[in-house]
Chain A
Amino acid sequence: MKITRRELLISAGSLLAYSQLGSLANAEVNIAAQPGDQEMIASMCKALYPHDRFPMSIYMDVAAGAIKKGNADTGAKISFRAGLDGLKINKFDKMNFKKQTKYLKSIANTPFFGLVRGHTVVALYDHKEVHKIFGYQGASFDKGGYKDGEYNDLSWLPEPRIEEHPDLTAFLDDSSPKKYASLKIKKTF
């Protein structure tokens, strides 16, 4: 997501970021490679977009993608490492939802947050299992499209008119500049 990239650029400009850049790059450190790291990120993904109906495995998939992005370049690595450390130190995964939300608000301006949130909102709602849970059926072309009785199966409202109202043509044609110029605007901006 564009937002994430922009925030990463901001982070790359910070003095702290540059001071850490060299040592991390030389060590070829991979971020979030410790046991439990993916679970920790997954708990953050869930706190960001909490859906009781989603199994934790979906959030784990999303977290894996976020970690991959966190390792994409040096700038991402350093901000991701700092953010993950914060989650660990504060035992984010053990907090209740209210405290998690409060914590997330406190880090909402960090590039780490931007990366994880930006990734999660896309990856979570693009997840095939989420589509199933939401009842989204997606593509129907291979099945010949949505059938009569399927695309129009809503039965709790009356059947609507689909043709245009007989007065529409007259309504649209009644639009002479002269006539409408006589309606003076009251408010000027």
Chain B
Amino acid sequence: MKIDKKEKAVVVIGSGPGGAQVAYQLTKQGIPVVLLEAGRRIMKEEYVNEEWPAFSQMAWLDKRTMSGNARIVQDFNGLPTWLVKAVGGTATHWAGATPRFLDYEWKTKSTYGSVDGATLMDWPIDGKEMKPYYVKAEDAIGSTHRGGRPPLPANNNYKVFAEGAKRNGYKFYATGPYGTNAAPYDGRPASIQDGFNFQGDKNGSKWNPNVSEIPKALATGKLELRTNSQAVQITTDSSGKADGVLYMDTKTKALHRQEAKVICVAGNSIETPRLFLMSASSRFPNGLANSSDQVGRNYMRHLTGSVYATFDKPVNFFRGETMAGFLADEVKHNPKRGFVGGYYLETLALGPSFLGAFLDPGKWGKKFADMMDGYQNMAGMWIVGEDMPQANNRITLGSAKDAFGLPAPNVHFDDHPNDTAMRNHAYEKGEAIYKAVGATQTYRVTPYPHTHNLGSMRMSAKAKDGVVDKWGRCHDVKNLFVSDGSVMTTGAACNPTLTITALAIRQGEYLADQLKKGNV
């Protein structure tokens, strides 16, 4: 449907897992929505099954800068994260792992206690409240191993991973839960083991909003999807309520304005706070909805890293699903290990093109070449664990300008000692898994730009402690919501997309109800 720019509309900014889900929940209930997406719509037929061309096709490459002591600041200074500028957002690129938060991961301050340098805080919601939304989210995504949906078969990379795990006494390994169909589901086909989930998945077996919530929302007749429309400022009226969105046509650079009665922002943990900071005004001098000074702070990216290993026999780990291998044994909080929180290990395969760039950034010489030479005999896994929120790990407006003359975001990230301790523990365990099945060489791979991108607009019970309340509604601006992973108070160990989806379903249902009651 076409919605007039002068009409006070419900405006959703960003069409990733958070924004597209909220837009779908609202339109499903008959509420018209304008959905602004900075990128274009890339249909699955256009996806390219080559690593660098696909990267160029969809990655968010607008100017960003980095500071801080994390190694990635040196290795990939202009590319803090690997996000997507297209309809469907970064879910276009996500692999597909869908674990849930554990109950205590909603209450880390109460559970872990005080950790020096960390700004742990309890979420204002808990596992019991979220449980039904997790079920809905798993059904929306079609998670394997859940809701009666079958598991994916084992590929070669999983065979090495699972047997190594078993020989280390681990029990909780499986090929999921994973957001790619093992059997046809929700109008999408079963996986044909063609890999390339990071490049969009041409087969459409992988869930992402571009093949699910977007077409469903369009089918309601209540959605206007405006692509190439990048929000640059949220305006407020004399009462301090949000009343419009200035957005830029990224092709013509023309500036437009959409009048709004409710705005939901889902631009991810970098662009969402950037937009709020760019929306500073005389009424909101430190940025919109920022009386707490928490906009942009406590940015998290998960504890990550990878372990690769070579064997004396072929693995061909690139064949089949990208990340359909999962180990949960190390996820539980156990301070005896020397850190708080926990982590998952997940299978991961890269092609030679990306492996060369990420195996050991900046390294060269015979040892590096020898490792690459073992490509056919290689297996790989990714580490994902809870990282500590820190007040100074934050998004600010830097002095650099992007191609549109807007202040580029600066991402500051220091590793917390807890992150480092956990990463080292995970490296050891990952290497032990591969050594148990005969690895001839193992390689610890430093974090590279990835999709996990949390916090920076944290959810809090009290207005002074965070930006949004338990519904994702800004404490300071009552008709302004945040609908993406930036609301995460703390990040837990699990891959975030399922939780973002669950929170967005919950928020969408709440907002629809409030709109119908005239409370917004």
On A, residues with C-beta under 8 Å from B are 1-3, 5-6, 48-51, 53, 97, 101, 104, 117, 120-122, 124-126, 130-131, 134-141, 144-148, 150-154, 156-165, 167-168, 171-173, 175-177, 179-181, 183-189
CB–CB B364/A168 < 8 A: no
CB–CB A126/B356 < 8 A: yes
Can you list 29 pairs linking A and B with CB atoms under 8 Å apart? A1-B357, A3-B361, A50-B369, A53-B373, A117-B364, A122-B52, A130-B352, A134-B373, A135-B314, A137-B318, A137-B319, A140-B193, A140-B194, A141-B192, A141-B196, A144-B192, A146-B155, A146-B192, A146-B193, A147-B193, A151-B155, A152-B153, A157-B159, A160-B163, A162-B151, A172-B100, A175-B105, A180-B104, A184-B113
Q: How many Å lie between the Cα of A53 and that of B376 in the bound state?
A: 14
CB–CB A139/B196 < 8 A: yes
Q: Of A125, A147, A165, A177, which one neighbours B372 at CB under 8 angstroms?
A: A125
CB–CB A157/B174 < 8 A: no
Q: How many Å lie between the Cα of A72 and that of B194 in the bound state?
A: 37
CB–CB B111/A122 < 8 A: no
CB–CB B102/A3 < 8 A: no
Other A-B pairs, 19, CB within 8 Å; known A122-B356, A150-B319: A125-B353, A125-B372, A126-B51, A126-B52, A136-B352, A137-B319, A138-B50, A141-B49, A141-B202, A151-B319, A151-B320, A152-B155, A157-B437, A165-B171, A171-B328, A177-B104, A181-B111, A184-B113, A185-B340
Q: How many Å lie between the Cα of A48 and that of B365 in the bound state?
A: 5
Smallest Cβ-Cβ distance to A173: which chain B residue: B103
Q: How many Å lie between the Cα of A125 and that of B354 in the bound state?
A: 8
B79 to chain A, nearest CB (A): 6
Stretch from B6-14, B331-339, B425-433 that touches the partner: B331-339
Instruction: Note all chain B residues with C-beta closer than 8 A to A6.
Output: 77-78
CB–CB A160/B116 < 8 A: no
Q: How many Å lie between the Cα of A80 and that of B340 in the bound state?
A: 49
Instruction: Note all chain A residues with C-beta closer than 8 A to B361.
Output: 3
Q: Is B355 an interface residue (CB 8 A)?
A: yes
Q: How many Å lie between the Cα of A120 and that of B145 in the bound state?
A: 42
Q: How many Å lie between the Cα of A124 and that of B194 in the bound state?
A: 24
Smallest Cβ-Cβ distance to A164: which chain B residue: B174
CB–CB B111/A177 < 8 A: yes
CB–CB A125/B356 < 8 A: yes
- Contact residues on B (Cβ < 8 Å of other chain), bracket: 35 or more
Q: How many Å lie between the Cα of A176 and that of B331 in the bound state?
A: 14
CB–CB A122/B357 < 8 A: yes
CB–CB A181/B196 < 8 A: no
CB–CB B320/A152 < 8 A: yes
Smallest Cβ-Cβ distance to B333: which chain A residue: A180
CB–CB B49/A139 < 8 A: yes
Instruction: Note all chain A residues with C-beta closer than 8 A to B110.
Output: 177, 181
On B, residues with C-beta under 8 Å from A are 49-52, 75-79, 100, 102-107, 110-118, 127, 145, 151-156, 158-160, 162-163, 166, 171-176, 191-196, 202-203, 313-316, 318-320, 328, 331-336, 338-340, 351-353, 355-357, 361-362, 364-366, 368-369, 372-373, 375-376, 416-418, 421, 437
Task: Take A146-B195, A161-B173, A177-B104 as given contacts and tell me if A51 and B369 are in contact as well, using a CB distance cutoff of 8 Å.
Answer: yes
A186 to chain B, nearest CB (A): 6
CB–CB B158/A176 < 8 A: no
Q: Of B117, B162, B362, B437, which one neighbours A161 at CB under 8 angstroms?
A: B162
Q: How many Å lie between the Cα of A172 and that of B176 in the bound state?
A: 14
Q: How many Å lie between the Cα of A188 and that of B418 in the bound state?
A: 9
Q: How many Å lie between the Cα of A115 and that of B110 in the bound state?
A: 50
Instruction: Note all chain B residues with C-beta closer than 8 A to A125.
Output: 352-353, 355-357, 372
B35 to chain A, nearest CB (A): 29
Smallest Cβ-Cβ distance to B108: which chain A residue: A177
CB–CB B352/A177 < 8 A: no
CB–CB B78/A2 < 8 A: yes
| Most A C-beta atoms less than 10 A away, residue of B51, B356, B417 | B356
CB–CB B320/A146 < 8 A: yes
CB–CB B318/A136 < 8 A: yes
Instruction: Note all chain B residues with C-beta closer than 8 A to A184.
Output: 113, 335
CB–CB B175/A162 < 8 A: yes
Instruction: Note all chain A residues with C-beta closer than 8 A to B103.
Output: 173, 175-177
Task: Take A51-B373, A189-B116 as given contacts and tell me if A154 and B318 are in contact as well, using a CB distance cutoff of 8 Å.
Answer: no
